[in-house]
Structure 1
Amino acid sequence: MFSRFSVWLVVRLAEVVQRVRRTPDAGMETADKILWAAVVTIVVGVVGAIFRDKLRDFANGLTVTLGW
């Protein structure tokens, strides 16, 4: 026997699937944001690798200047 909760859960899941089928591009916005985040992460990593010593010296200079 199915409980009321399991029937409710199946109905809700069917509604969500039907909504996604009506708007198939709904996931593209999320994928686009994830790709942009990946690009930004890669660019920051490359810049950090290129200017590693300068960034470290800058951070050490701040530490000495601020008295930490």
Structure 2
Amino acid sequence: MTEHLRVDRIACRAHGLCADLLPELVELDEWGYPLLATDVVPAHLRAEASAAVAACPALALRLDRTG
């Protein structure tokens, strides 16, 4: 199963928690909005990705599972 990290750019309020919790996949642009290095979440980062999704105060992150 493959997990993909998605950002709802309309809902995002640039709190930056996703980058704090998942710096391997998320960095912030100059305004504090997330930029994804890749949307595919490696198996060893699934727990961290789930934590970032759960911590997002704007509910702007989600994990989609395929396969």
Regarding TM over 0.5, the answer is no
Larger Rg over CA atoms: 1
Structure with the higher strand share, 1 or 2: 2
User: TM-score when scaled to structure 2?
Assistant: 0.25
Task: Considering Cα pairs closer than 8 Å and 6+ residues apart, tell me whether 1 or 2 has the greater RCO.
Answer: 2
